[in-house]
Structure 1
Amino acid sequence: MSSSRPGLRLAACLLNISEARRKHIVENIANAALGKNGQKHPEVSVLNIFSDQDYNRSVITIAASIDVLGNSVLAACLEAFQSIDMQVQEGIHPCLGAVDLVPIYPLTDVGVEECGAVARSLAENLVRHIPGCSVFLFGEADLPEKRTLVQRRKQLGWFTRRDFSALKPDLGAAPARRCGLTGIGASPYVMNCNVTIDSQDLALGKEIASAIRGSHVNGLKGVQSMAFPHEGKIEIACNVESFEDQEPTETSDDSRYMAYSVLGDQFSYVSPHYIEAQIKKLASDRGIGTIGRALIGFTPQECKNCAEYAIKKSIGEFWKIRGGIFM
């Protein structure tokens, strides 16, 4: 795909909302990111929409010039808060907020620190515009500690969900029941990769998820994983973090890893194919197989290439060209 216009500095937001079963609501939120009153912003594109009915969760990939991304995501969040009520929301995926997660990632000629500044500004604007909106910060937006998303979620009980009265936000008042608590932050790109095992045994799924987790002694670096019942089987859902290469020679010839660069900094992440292979092996050792792999959105390179192409061509609704899951 063609390179971006000279001087165009791009970042992406993988907006996680607690709604998937009402398609028109999800698409209204996506379209809100593109502009007001039918006037589409030329430097914003919605690259992908992934919705999961069982999870009742959608991930909307918004790419834009870093100068306009904050306002674009703010517009999408405002629409989401009007349409999603956490008092009646149901789904098997853990969540705390109607807008559950707002991570911002650098793509082209943008540093993660600048993405953090955009994330902090977005958090302040959301709290100002939405009564009852409460925010916790992570990564480069969480100064000075820069606590990771995993650390913040553990502190807030995100995985066990959801006593709003006990939550203490970084910005905003105590979370309102309708809005819940929203996580906003910035980091190097985090990819989502899910693999389904041919079993209904949740305990077995949790065992496999634990074995590949980066915190496990033999786990995969940068991989966070959970197991969920999904469409009558068990899905191993993985967040795949990018990590900075301190010693690139260790990973450059290793098929486990994929590498890319942003502003001259080198990053790596575990290949989706390798994640699938490892889960398949762990499942086979337990006498079961795997059914398939879904990459929720894009690898970092794919996101960068699609963003550059979509914005160069002024294609706001890029997700309609690509369709559903981008493999």
Structure 2
Amino acid sequence: MKPIIECVPNFSEGVDQGIIHSITGAIGSVEGVKLLNVDPGRGANRTVVTFAGEPEAVVEAAFQGIKMAGELIDMRTQKGEHPRMGATDVCPLIPVSNISLDETAQYAIQLAKRVGDELKIPVYLYEHAQPNKKRSNLAAIRAGEYEGFFKKIKLPMWQPDFGPAELDAKRGATVIGARDFLVAYNINLNTSSTHIANEIAQEVRETGKIIINENGKERIPGALKHVKAIGWYIEEYGKAQVSMNLTNITETPIHQVFDEVAAKAADHGVTVTGSELIGMIPLKAMVEAGRHFLHQQGITYLVNERKLIDAAIQAMGLNELAPFDPQKRIIEYQLG
């Protein structure tokens, strides 16, 4: 069996369809790569692209996408709700089958070196590809964002792993690494309050929040492990969202996240109206979610896979903002 890896680059353009098509065209032009999903977000001004194939082809396609993004996206004028530091903000490689995370990390390092050497873009390694664990967290690397990186990149502890130690004003910097499967998931609230969305995010995310009491500053952990979250308002939808990355859906499945956010929302006097999946999700996660929500309704007898998926879509309101097509959003269905 051939090794298969997935790549999910995030590009800092979610509005200009011409630019998005040029980037995905560059990726899709590489033989042996299957383009699985293109998910632009206007408010975030960010497009998440998912593709997969054998490692060598995926690395080449990622390089071509990063190159094209650098040519077409100008970070000097880019604005959006999502944190970002470069035209290609982050580019993770993920093992899918017949390849280990360690092996995938070596391909990520190979890609990062090529981007730094040939394109002269500053590159930071993250997650499993980064040997220095003080620099492995994406949020820590990206802190300060594009605007703050002109100074940050000059600090000794924030020298890039590859490429010049000077921020490219037009293209910014890029983070490349290897990680396990991550689900990008936003939950919609019936409020426009960023404050409330942020409060809920702090209460559910693993890192929690910092409070000040008589003992000084104290960190209060959140309810959900392996969850990163922020709150924001998306003008396009007229809604605030709790925007999350679920980094271990085996230990903290998506249905548990939905229920917890709904409970915290109720504590703040607001309700969850639905949710939004960014990119793709494994079949197992949707099946388990469907089974969970049917059990909540007292349905414990066996139902087929399609009905379980439909139950998950309906319970989590995945159709609220746009149609949710399982054939396009579930990775196993796309890979065949």
TM-score tier, shorter chain, comes to 0.7 to 0.9
What SS class does the counterpart of residue 243 from structure 2 fall into?
strand
Aligned pair partner of 1:154 in 140, 143, 149: 140
* Partner in structure 1 of residue 188 of structure 2: 196
Which structure 1 segments of 5+ residues have no match? Answer: 1-6, 243-257, 259-267, 304-321
Specify the structure having the higher radius of gyration (Cα): 2
**In the TM superposition, what whole-angstrom CA distance separates every residue of 1:247-289 from its partner, at most 9, and x where no partner exists?**
xxxxxxxxxxx5xxxxxxxxx2422222122111111121111
Note if contact 2:185-2:275 (Cα within 8 Å) is conserved in structure 1: yes
What SS class does the counterpart of residue 26 from structure 1 fall into?
helix
* Partner in structure 2 of residue 46 of structure 1: 35
Question: CA–CA distance in 1 between the matches of 2:206 and 2:142?
Answer: 21
Matching of residue 326 in structure 1 with residue 314 in structure 2: no
Question: CA–CA distance in 1 between the matches of 2:105 and 2:284?
Answer: 22
**In the TM superposition, what whole-angstrom CA distance separates every residue of 1:105-164 from its partner, at most 9, and x where no partner exists?**
110111111111111111111112223x111111221125484334xx325524695342
Note if contact 1:212-1:218 (Cα within 8 Å) is conserved in structure 2: yes
Question: CA–CA distance in 2 between the matches of 1:323 and 1:161?
Answer: 38
TM-score by length of 1: 0.77
Question: CA–CA distance in 2 between the matches of 1:160 and 1:201?
Answer: 26
- Cα gap change, 1:178/1:218 in structure 2, threshold over 3 Å: closer, same or farther? closer
Note if contact 2:86-2:146 (Cα within 8 Å) is conserved in structure 1: no
Which structure 2 segments of 5+ residues have no match? Answer: 154-158, 209-220, 286-324, 331-336
Aligned pair partner of 2:279 in 297, 302, 311: 297
Shift of 1:104: 0.8
- Cα gap change, 1:161/1:209 in structure 2, threshold over 3 Å: closer, same or farther? farther
Aligned pair partner of 1:235 in 232, 238, 241: 241
- Cα gap change, 1:226/1:290 in structure 2, threshold over 3 Å: closer, same or farther? same
Aligned pair partner of 1:20 in 14, 19, 39: 14
Note if contact 2:115-2:163 (Cα within 8 Å) is conserved in structure 1: no
Question: CA–CA distance in 1 between the matches of 2:161 and 2:47?
Answer: 24
After TM superposition, the structure 1 = structure 2 runs for residues 79-118 of structure 1, keeping only pairs within 5 Å, are: 79-118=68-107
TM-score by length of 2: 0.75
What SS class does the counterpart of residue 82 from structure 1 fall into?
helix
* Partner in structure 2 of residue 264 of structure 1: none
After TM superposition, the structure 1 = structure 2 runs for residues 162-201 of structure 1, keeping only pairs within 5 Å, are: 162-167=148-153, 168-173=159-164, 174-201=166-193
- Cα gap change, 1:113/1:297 in structure 2, threshold over 3 Å: closer, same or farther? same
* Partner in structure 2 of residue 280 of structure 1: 262
Identity %: 25
* Partner in structure 2 of residue 225 of structure 1: 229
Shift of 1:302: 7.1
More helix by percentage? 2
- Cα gap change, 1:177/1:323 in structure 2, threshold over 3 Å: closer, same or farther? farther
- Cα gap change, 1:324/1:234 in structure 2, threshold over 3 Å: closer, same or farther? farther
Higher relative contact order (CA 8 A, sep 6+): 1
One-letter identity of the residue aligned with 2:163: G
- Cα gap change, 1:302/1:190 in structure 2, threshold over 3 Å: closer, same or farther? same
* Partner in structure 1 of residue 108 of structure 2: 119
Deviates more, 1:272-281 or 1:220-229: 272-281
Aligned-residue Cα RMSD (Å) equals 2.4
Note if contact 1:66-1:110 (Cα within 8 Å) is conserved in structure 2: no
**In the TM superposition, what whole-angstrom CA distance separates every residue of 1:25-81 from its partner, at most 9, and x where no partner exists?**
11211121122xxxx51x211100111101100100011112321111111111111
Shift of 1:323: 9.6
